Each structure stands twice: as C-alpha cells, then as structure tokens.
Structure 1
C-alpha cells in the first residue's frame, strides 16, 4: 500500500505539505501542489479518508435526521441531498427519528458521535428550545421545514400555511363553499400550519369554520381509508376536499372509486406535495407543489456555506405553488 511518506519522497516535499495539499490548503505553493499531484498519479496513491479527517479535523461527512427512511417526501429529499453532498466530495449519513422524541434525540447524539462536519435536522418532536440548544452547541446545523426566529439563519423552511391557503382559495374561487379537509397528524407542525391556511381562506370569504368538516388522517398511508370513510359517513354536504398531502388524496380516490363517486365531477379533490404519481392518476390531481428535491439540494449547499464561513442565504421560507390539473370542477 502506497503511503503519504512515499508520495513526499517522490515529490521531494515534506509529509505535511502533502497533507495540506490533499486537504486543499491555500498556503501550499502552486509548484509544490503540482509536484504532489504528479507523484500521486505516478504512484497511484489513494488518500486514507480517516487519516485525512484526523489531519483536517473534518470527517467530510454531513449528518441528516429525517422522520422516516421511505415515502414520497423523504425519499427525494435524501436522494438530492446525497447527490449534492457527493458532488462536493462529502458523504451523507442519514438516520431516522421515526416520529419519537427519544429517537430524534438519540439520532442527534449518534451523528455527533460520528463527528460529522454539519447536521441537517428534520424534526417534529423536539421543541424550539431544544433545537436552539442543539444549534448553539453545533453551529453548523440547519433545521429543515421549520422556522425558529431565534436561529433564523439556521432554518430552511417552507410556507405551509400559504400552501393551505392557496389550495382552499382555489376551491373557493371555483364556487365551492362546503370544503372539507383531511389533515395529517395533528402532532406535526406541517398539519397545523396547513390547517391555519385553510381557516384563513375561509375567514376571508366570510365562511364559518365547521369542525364537522375536519378529519385527522396521516401523512403516511396508514389509516387514511378509515379517515375518508369517517368523513363521508358524516354526510356534511361537502363538494370538495382539501387533502393535506397526496397520499391522503390517493386514499380518497380509492374510496371514491369503490363507492361510485366520480372525482372531478361529483367531488373535487385537491392535494399537497405534488408527488410523482399525482400527475399520472386519473383524473390527474390538482395539488400544491412542495419543492422537496430543491430543499434537499439547498440544505447541503447551506451547510457547506456554513463550513466555509460564506454569507448565508436569506431565511425566507420556500414558496408553494398551485399545480392545476383535472380533479377540481367549477360549480355553477
């Protein structure tokens, strides 16, 4: 196995110069840098990642905490984050909190034990105060999909409330006044913010908020058929349903098919997230676009900027967009 000592002897420079060259130090003279890389190419030397980490006090890894390791939301998020990390010669270490506070805390401790250079955290169960403390102890930490004013420059968020408002406002503009909504878990910040957007749109149109039109579902696929059936059995007279994500909308499509309800004619449906399948089901689903892949890329770019002490981006939330397809009809 070729060693750094052999590289330094062939290049006729010190071992510390070789190490600084491998770690990209600007202090290395261009002439010496060229000699080191020429020796590396001639010898076929492969740097030892662990040794590099010791020399630079960096692990060249980024830790990411997500709620789950599967599904149409977290999959694209992790995929794009990993691609961006690899493009920048970093590795992504991912762990899941599985919607449990104890596991989220344990996951953060695990990432810290791996001496990751930075952390990207998507958490529902930890309080603002707990996350503020994490950031204070780990300054190269980014909080995803959540805004905390005290650490605004460490937050990359999405305007979920505006997304809920856009979805409901569109249904109102199409003449619907009896609009039901199936939420995600009430424990999740996304659910509560999207519901606030729904309420704001109703209030602006002077339509009374009716708790009978609200059903709690889940952002994953479990239990949503039951939630849909519960809503339909209430006979609320709803002509439209705002589903707080596309997985919930898919369950509603299934039940409508089973009961002979024509989506886009008898019942209008609008989703949230713009998952890949939403354009392929029939009728294609009108939904609110959540730029999940963009958030994955931006999150890694953001922490790399922190590591390189570059100015941080504006902390304004990412903006939702309505994607109009065929699942909503206009009432005359």
Structure 2
C-alpha cells in the first residue's frame, strides 16, 4: 500500500511537501504540485480525508449558510463563493432554508459537525444581538449582508443607503412625484436601510412618501405580484414604484401585465440587485446594481484567511452600488 512517504520518494520531495499539496496546494509551487500529483496517480495513492483532518485539524471545507437557493440572487452568490474556495483546493458545503434564529443555529451546528474550517453566514431575519452572540462564540464565522457593531472585520455588506438614494434621485430626475414602494420585511435591516434613505431623499426634494404608499413584501416573486395588486388598487394615481429587490419587481411586472397596466407608459418600475434576468425581461428592468460577485469573493477570501488561523484587523468597506438604466422607467413630460 502506498503511503505519503512512498509518494514523497517517487516525487523527490519531502513528506511535508506532499502533505502541503494535499492540504494547502495554494502554498506549493505549481511545478512541485504537478510532480507530487503525478506520483500520487502513478502509485494509486488516495488520501484518507478523515485521518488528514484529524492530523492537521483542518477539513479543507468552508461552510455557507443561506436562506434559500431558489432566487436569481443567491445562485450566482453561491457559484462565486464556490469558485473562490475551490481555487485554493478547498470545498464548499452549503445548507439552505435557514432564516429564523433556530434554523440558523441548526445550520451552524451542521457545519461545525462537519468540521468546516470557516463558515459564511447569511443572517436572514436574525437580530444584530443574535448575530453578535454567534460571532463572539464562533471566531471563524463571516457574515454577509449585515454589519454587526463590534465585528466589522468579519462582515461584508452593500451600502444600502447609497442604493436607496440612487433610486430616489433617478425617479425625481424623471419627474416622478407620486411614488410607491414595495419594501422587504420590516425586520430586515437591509430593506429598512434602502427604504429610509429613499424616503429621506424624496423628502429633501419636497416629495412626500406617505405610509399608505409603502407596502411590505417578503423579497419573493409572488409577494411582489400580490403587493403590486394591493398597492395599485389603493393608489391608482401612482406613476412609479420602487421594488426593494428585483424578484419583487418581476412579480410587480407580472401583475401589471395581467391587469393591463403598461410599463412604463402607465407605471414606471425600478428594482434593486440587477440580477441576471433584469436585462432579459420586457421591458428591461431599470435597477440598482448589487455587486454580488465582489461580495462573494470578499466573503470567501475572509473565510479562507480565518480558516488558516489569520487574524482580521481591518474593518471591511461597504460595497458600492450603482444605477443601471434600462427601459422600465419613463421620463414624465
């Protein structure tokens, strides 16, 4: 039976180098790694992952806990994280359907049982206090979509305030004053950040956003459709609606089509996220671009640094959104 020592002898390297190729290939020169991998194939050597993890105290696995995978937002997020993790020879373990505090706790426990070296966590509806407790007790956890006070070195988030301001400024430039909002859950800090700055920007321009023009959705397609139906029934004089994510904007557009409301000639729609399908639907959706790829890569790199025992000392900068103008908003004359 081949061993790490016979592989080392065949490749002409030390046993420590073979170990690094198996556990930390990104730290080995490419020529050496190729030579060791060739020797492993020639000797039909297969590493015992469990034994290796016991010896190194590392599993070469990063965990990712998210609320779901069904939306056009989370799929590219997971893909980008997986690519970053696999590029250094590690593996990504994903668990989804985690939104409540109990579900997230279960997801974290699942990852710990699988000896993940680090965990990336989407917080769902968790409070900052609950997240702070998780981060305090789990030094290898990185949080995305939330900045928790006292833990900014391990949090990666979009500048939602800037995103809300960009949407408001564009609708104002296009001459819209009768504006409605399909918001996310009031318990979701990101939704509240986008909404508060959107409202403040309108008010600074002398345009009111009464509470009856704001309706709470759940960030899903069907809630966008239902909220748009309710909002239009109660506020038929609206000229524009800001949906706080693209999934709800797609649902709102679906309702408009079924109700015979032409977008954008009768009603303008603007979304948030700029998911892949935003440029494929008709009319093409004007939206605030969320740099998901940058968020995913940043979170993955932080997790990989924590996985090898590195200390993070610098707070993470907020990711900056930008407006993508397409066809779903009309300029009023």
Q: Give the total of aligned pairs.
A: 329
Query: Which residue is 1:58 aligned to?
Result: 58
Which stretches in structure 1 are left out of the alignment for 5+ residues?
none
User: Structure 2 CA distance, aligned partners of 1:37 and 1:232?
Assistant: 63
User: Structure 2 CA distance, aligned partners of 1:56 and 1:17?
Assistant: 14
| 8 Å CA contact 2:81, 2:297 repeated in 1 | yes
Which stretches in structure 2 are left out of the alignment for 5+ residues?
none
Quote the offset at 1:10 in angstroms: 5.6
> Equivalent residue of 2:150, what SS?
helix
In the alignment, structure 1 residue 321 sits paired with structure 2 residue 303: no
Quote the offset at 1:225 in angstroms: 2.1
CA RMSD, 1 decimal? 2.8
| 8 Å CA contact 2:244, 2:271 repeated in 1 | yes
Query: Which residue is 2:302 aligned to?
Result: 302
| 8 Å CA contact 1:97, 1:123 repeated in 2 | no
Write out per-residue CA displacement over residues 172-226 of structure 1, whole angstroms, 9 at most, x where no aligned residue: 1111111101112222222111111211111211223311111112211233322
| 8 Å CA contact 2:100, 2:126 repeated in 1 | no
- Judged with a 3 Å threshold, the aligned counterparts in structure 2 of structure 1 residues 11 and 128 are, in CA distance, closer, same or farther, namely same
User: Structure 1 CA distance, aligned partners of 2:316 and 2:44?
Assistant: 45
Query: Which residue is 2:270 aligned to?
Result: 270
Quote the offset at 1:93 in angstroms: 0.9
- Judged with a 3 Å threshold, the aligned counterparts in structure 2 of structure 1 residues 200 and 27 are, in CA distance, closer, same or farther, namely closer
- Judged with a 3 Å threshold, the aligned counterparts in structure 2 of structure 1 residues 255 and 20 are, in CA distance, closer, same or farther, namely closer
User: Structure 1 CA distance, aligned partners of 2:27 and 2:79?
Assistant: 35
| 8 Å CA contact 1:183, 1:215 repeated in 2 | yes
Query: Which residue is 2:148 aligned to?
Result: 148
In the alignment, structure 1 residue 72 sits paired with structure 2 residue 97: no
| 8 Å CA contact 2:21, 2:36 repeated in 1 | yes
Quote the offset at 1:231 in angstroms: 0.7
- More off after superposition, 99-108 vs 126-135: 126-135
| 8 Å CA contact 1:124, 1:189 repeated in 2 | no
Write out per-residue CA displacement over residues 241-267 of structure 1, whole angstroms, 9 at most, x where no aligned residue: 111111211122222222322212111
| 8 Å CA contact 2:153, 2:312 repeated in 1 | no
- Judged with a 3 Å threshold, the aligned counterparts in structure 2 of structure 1 residues 314 and 269 are, in CA distance, closer, same or farther, namely same
Quote the offset at 1:311 in angstroms: 5.8
Query: Which residue is 1:103 aligned to?
Result: 103
| TM-score, normalised relative to structure 1 | 0.89
| TM-score, normalised relative to structure 2 | 0.89
Query: Which residue is 1:112 aligned to?
Result: 112
Query: Which residue is 2:166 aligned to?
Result: 166
| 8 Å CA contact 1:104, 1:125 repeated in 2 | no
Quote the offset at 1:39 in angstroms: 4.7
- Judged with a 3 Å threshold, the aligned counterparts in structure 2 of structure 1 residues 283 and 2 are, in CA distance, closer, same or farther, namely same
